[in-house]
Amino acid sequence: MSNQTASQLPDYITSAKPNSQGNRAPWYKNTAPTYAGIFLWFVFWQDAAKAANLGGTLAQGLGVALGGLVVSALICHYLFYLVPGLLGMKTGLPLYIVGTSTFGAKGGFFMPGFLMGVLQFGWLGVNTYFASLALAEVIPVPAQALMVIWGLLAAFVGLKGIQYVAKVATFLPLIPLITLLLLLAKTAGSIGSFDPAKLIALQQVAAPTTPSALGVCSVVAVIMTYVVGFFATAGAAGVDFGTNSRDKKDVSMGGLIGVALAIVFTAGISMLVVAGVYGSPELSAKAVAAGAEKKSFILDSFNLIPVVLGAEAAKWIMFALAVAAFPPACFSSFIAANSFKTTLPKVNPFISVGIGAAVSIVLAVTKLAGDAIGVFVIIGASFGPICGAMMVDYLLSGGKWSGPRAGFNPAGWIAWLLGFIVGILPNMGVHVPAAPVTAFIIGSVVYFVCAKVGLQSAVVPLPAKR
């Protein structure tokens, strides 16, 4: 193992060039606004108060829900984003290169490189499903037909025209921001009157088969699953964000503001809006009636927009939110295309991305993508152990990137496999508290143990020009 040489490294590693300091910028010009834009996407914040149990995440009151949100936001920043961001900043190299220290020069090609691309189509499916439902409220076309059009168009633009979408995306995040602030202004007066016991009583009458309310620890665990599962892939992508950071301060501030604060701001307002609706006798009566029409009990802030702002205004606001969701759909396709171009260089990206887009459309049309929390669990299970293993690898290497390891690094792959198995159990009916965080912890511990018993492959020196 000690005789490994740079000549044994794949071309995609030896040809990679670090992003120069001249191309980098302060945190408030790149990392923070880009991440904040992710959390302004209505698919993230709409379900912050929702759960399968009575009272959702508000069952133990606003204080517990907001406290769980803050804890989840800090976990995203410190455990899932910070180390990848620092690795990107220190090396100037993208995720699929930096990941080779954890998964090996050959293994990193697939993990996290190829996996990052595959999971983007899960995001595209979620985006397609919710955006098309909102569009169908205004456009006289069946939602399923819109899902096909939306998915194909997002995939095409992601392949060919992302630079134009990026320009439009500069302004579109203002739509969800203004919507959240407007909803908060309309419901703020009744937030103080919110009583979780009254909410639970209302839901028991409207949906008597709903499982009993969650306890304090369970509420926090559900919020962690929701928030961390949503963020897991974006956390690992902190490597790519970090390549545009000048120093540690840029990495840290970009995460604290763009990740932690943005999570608390967007999902927090969503929770407050739901509490404000059910704290008002007038609005709560309207919400129950609206839920009866949908044969459900409404706990998501998106479907409460008509209750708060009126049906006619809400129709156009929801339409605008759907339009604002188009750039994230294109960016998902763009990331997938870049991943496939690297890992499947001989396959026409129109074919690989086209197949992925078709899968996304199927997920949307069959309503499988409508279970956002279920999707978040899968993504958290996939990337939780990746982030955990990368963090331990970074710490064991003295706070630096060790360089690519030979072949398939056993420590990384064992850590990922065991973490993924534990993290995916909730989708098989097995209870695992805060599954994405648990998967992260499993990945971290297993990688540490494997490293200590000698299951790391040797580091292969990079060419002298590095």
Contact between 4 and 231 (Cβ < 8 Å): no
**Total count of domains within the chain:** 1
Confidence class for position 165, pLDDT limits 50, 70, 90: low
365 domain residue, yes or no: yes
Residue 462 in domain: no
**460 within domain boundaries:** no
- The whole-number average pLDDT for the span 132-153 is 93
Quote the CA–CA distance of 458 and 407 in Å, as a whole number: 9
Residue 464 domain flag: no
What's the pLDDT tens digit per position in 60-88? 999 999 999 999 999 999 999 999 999 99
Q: Is residue 458 situated within a structural domain?
A: no
Percent of the chain that is helix, strand, coil (3-state, to 5):
75, 0, 25
Nearest Cα neighbor of 159 from 10, 339, 27, 377 is: 339
- Nearest Cα neighbor of 41 from 364, 377, 261, 327 is 327
Across the chain, mean pLDDT equals 91
Helix axis angle, 196-206 to 281-293, nearest 10°? 30
Express each pLDDT in 220-257 by its tens digit: 999 999 999 999 999 998 998 899 999 999 999 999 99
Domain contains 24: yes
Please tell me the predicted confidence (pLDDT) of residue 169.
66
Is 1 inside any structural domain? no
With beta carbons less than 8 A apart as the criterion, state whether 93 and 255 touch. Answer: no
pLDDT per residue as tens digits for the range 411-466: 999 999 999 999 999 988 899 999 999 999 999 999 999 999 999 999 998 875 44
User: Looking at residue 374, what is its pLDDT?
Assistant: 83
- Please tell me the predicted confidence (pLDDT) of residue 150: 95
- Mean per-residue pLDDT, 183-204: 97
pTM of the model: 0.91
Q: In this predicted structure, what is the pLDDT of residue 231?
A: 94
How would you classify residue 16: left for phi > 0, otherwise alpha for psi between -120 and 50, otherwise beta?
Answer: beta
What proportion of the chain, given as a percentage, has pLDDT over 90? 71
Tell me, yes or no, whether 305 lies in a domain. yes
Q: Which domain holds residue 287?
A: 6-452
* Among 91-100, 249-258, 391-400, the least confident range: 91-100
pLDDT in tens, 2-59: 445 555 787 778 878 899 999 999 999 889 988 998 899 998 999 999 999 999 999 9
Confidence of residue 398 (pLDDT cuts 50, 70, 90): very high
Does residue 117 carry a pLDDT above 50? yes
Amino acid identity of 263?
A: I
| CATH code of the domain in which 399 resides | 1.10.4160.10
3-state class (DSSP) for residue 459: strand
Q: Is the distance from CB of 358 to CB of 70 less than 8 angstroms?
A: no
Mean pLDDT confidence for 120-130: 91
Sign for the CA dihedral angle at 200, 203, 207, 210 comes to negative
Spatial distance between the Cα atoms of 161 and 21, rounded to a whole number of angstroms: 27
Instruction: Write out pLDDT tens, residues 321-368.
Output: 999 998 888 878 878 877 777 667 778 888 888 999 999 999 999 999
Rounded (10°) angle between helices 31-40 and 248-255: 20
CA pair distance 321, 176, nearest whole angstrom: 6
- Closest listed residue to residue 24, CA positions, set 237, 235, 243, 239: 243
| pLDDT value, residue 253 | 97
Q: What percent of the chain has pLDDT over 70?
A: 95
In the prediction, which pLDDT does 161 show? Answer: 54
